[in-house]
Every structure is written in structure tokens, then in C-alpha cells.
Amino acid sequence: MAASIVYRCALLSRSRSRTISPLITGKRFILSSAYTSDSAWEKWEKETHNLADLASQMERNYERKLPVSSLSIARFVDNIKSRGEIDQAEYYLYKFRHSPNWWYLRDWTIHGWIRKCLKYGAPEKALYTLKNKVQYGIFPNNFTFNLLLDTFIKKENFEGMAYILLYVVILHCIHFTIKVNSKGGWVLEKNLGASLLLAGLGQENTVGYSSQLYGYSLIGKVELSQGLRAVYTQMPLIWKPGYFQRALDVMEKVSQMPGEIKITKDVIDILKSALDSVILSKTEKVQSENDEVLEDASMFPEDSEKTEEEMLPEYLTRFQELHRKLESLGKIETADLLNLTTPLVQEKLPECEKSDIENYEAQLKEWQNDEMEMITRENKLKEKIRKEYEAKQAALSTAQ
């Protein structure tokens, strides 16, 4: 499942890049129409309920400190028919998450919630509940993640898309490559840098090593500008300083490798730009702004007494030497990372989609069976309660 997200995100990086040939026209979307089609989902016949009645029932239960069943919140989500009702459902998702039955929010309810948000033009609401997953209990499966991703790609909401990708990386440590948007700020650079690094570590080829270098470059820039703590907080990255040094180690490793493995020129330029940017910013900052970075670095001292900031001139010199060495060995790939990644994506994407769709259809059948069993149990319980009530009433009538 996770592999499908990898290749789709790589395709995304091409669609977002400004370096694409002008001969390529139109927008490129990640998912095929067969993948995004809701036909299989809509075939699942849902019970028809009035939202006002469902809301009233849930409110009465909450007031009486009684549990609200997962079927109630599922029915509420299933019967959303407008954008305004999305907001109402958000409220009851929150209430259910903070109720005694919070553990029983069903997977199909989460999937249905995302689909309803997308159907009625509220993808930002879906993203909000995902960002606040602890408060709403929204933990989608990979198929649902892909649908949400595709929507943000089509809307060109890059920050929303990047958050979803980061969340998947943290959950699954999946591999993907993506073109960074320099206007996204240091948080976005850190998120994408970590994703690129994880992607590269899983591949022994030009794309893999270029992705590693790209990731280390972005993270190194964040390390020097924001401090090491900003790098590893809520991120699957090591706590030891020296990300620029690791980037240079990748260049050196490739220079010593036999065969056709190279580093792409555009990624080398990214490292050079990151080094230049950090060096320039350090010369302009006042000493008070440097203290926090120095404090973070001193928490994890290396064998050398020099801080990462003091190592910058040496890093730049080493970069220049390694650049010349790679160039002399013919180990600089002129094609950019995006164009190299695209054939891999195009090769794997149909296979991944087919597998995902088959698994999704099987999952739907399982969900339908589970819901039917729950409805059957609910009806039996209601019937039992009705009979007990009637027996009690009959006993009272006899006694009178």
C-alpha cells in the first residue's frame, strides 16, 4: 500500500516543478480516474436518517452520560448532503472522540468523512481534522490518504499536500521524492528534506543518492538556521549534528563508486545554494540570534571542538573540491532528479493502482459485513429491550 504513495508523490514532484519542458502542457494529476472513482463506494447502500433526529439522539445520550454508539456517528456521516452539514459532523466527530466509546470509531466512518469533505468542497476541513487527529480520531488508511493527496495536488495546495506526505512518512517511513518549494519556509524544508532522505536511503542508484544529497542539504540548512532541536523534533531523524557533512559524504561516496551511479546537477546546485544561504545569513545575524543555535549544537558535541557554524568555510571548500572531482570523473548527471524519477513512476504506477483498487474493493466488502453485523446486533438488543419493557408493563397492569 505504502509503495503506491511513493510513486504518486514522485509524479507529483514533476507536476510541481518549474523545470519541466514547455512542450509538456496541461496539468498532471497523480491518480487515475479509476482510482478516484466513487462508484464502488456509492454502491454501498446506506441507511437513510434525518440528521436532526440523529443529533438530538446523540445529545440526549451525552446529557445523560450514556455512550453514543459508533453506528450513530457513522450514520450521521453517511447522511451528509451539503457543505453546511460537514461542519455539524465535525462537531459530533469531536464529541465522539471525547466520549467513552472513542476507541470504536469505524474505519469506514473515517473513509466516509474524508469522501464527504471532498465531495462537498471541504478538503481543508478534512485536512484540519487530520492535523488534529488526536482530537477527532481521524487516522485514515493509505487509500484514503491517496484520495486526499490527489485533491490537494489538483488544488495546488502545496502546504496541505506536504503535511499529508509528512504524516505518512512518520507513520510508515515510506520513500518518496518531491520538489521543494523555496517559499514554504523552514518547516516545509525540514519536512521535505526528511522525506527525500528516507527516499534515498532505500535506493542504490542515481535517483537514490541524489535524493539523499537533496535531503541532507535541506536539513543541514534548517540545522544551521533554526538549531538541531528543530531538526529532530517530531521527525524520524538522528539527533547528532552535521547534516551538511553527511551531504558532502554522499558526494564523496559517489565519487569513489564504480559504475554509472552519479549525482544530478540540480541537486548539487541545491547544496551549493543551501551552503551559500546559511553562510550569508550567519554573517548578517547579531550575536544574540546566534546564541540559541550555539546552545543546541553544544548539547551534542562532536570530537572536534568546532561548532557546525564554524565548520561552514571548511564545508564550502570541501564541496568545491568534491564538485570538481565528480565533474572530472563524469559523475554529474545533467538530467534533473525529477526527470530521472518519472520513468520509475510511470513503470510502477499502474501496478500499484491495480493492487490498491483490488484491496480497496475487498476492504469495502469487509466493512459492509461488519456494519451489517453491528446493525443486526443493535436490532436484537432493541427487540430484547422492547420485550422486557412490554413484560414489565404487563406485570404492572396485572398487579393493579
Q: Got the DSSP string for 71-139? A: HHHHHHHHT--SHHHHHHHHHHHHHHHTSTTGGG--HHHHHHHHHHHHHTT-HHHHHHHHHTHHHH---
The rounded distance, in Å, linking the Cα atoms of 164 and 174 is: 12
Q: Is 7 in contact with 169 (CB distance < 8 Å)?
A: no
Beta bridge partners of 332: 263
How are beta strands 332-333 and 263-264 bridged, if at all?
parallel
Residue 28 clears pLDDT 50, i.e. is over it: no
pLDDT at 50: 94
Residue 131 clears pLDDT 80, i.e. is over it: yes
Q: Looking at the chain, how many residues does it have?
A: 400
- The grid coordinates listed for 196 are 527525500
Angle at the Cα of 244 from the Cα atoms of 339 and 214, rounded to 5 degrees: 10
- The grid coordinates listed for 394 are 404487563
Residue 292 clears pLDDT 90, i.e. is over it: no
pLDDT at 313: 86
- Amino acid at the residue 174: I
Mean pLDDT of the chain, nearest integer? 79
Q: Which of 78, 71, 157, 142 is nearest to 115 (CA)?
A: 78
pLDDT in tens, 144-201: 988 998 888 887 776 776 667 656 655 543 333 334 444 457 777 777 777 778 777 7
Q: Is 132 in contact with 124 (CB distance < 8 Å)?
A: no
Question: What is the arithmetic mean of pLDDT over 110-128?
Answer: 95
pLDDT in tens, 95-109: 999 998 898 999 999
pLDDT at 185: 72
The rounded distance, in Å, linking the Cα atoms of 222 and 258 is: 32
- The grid coordinates listed for 274 are 543551501
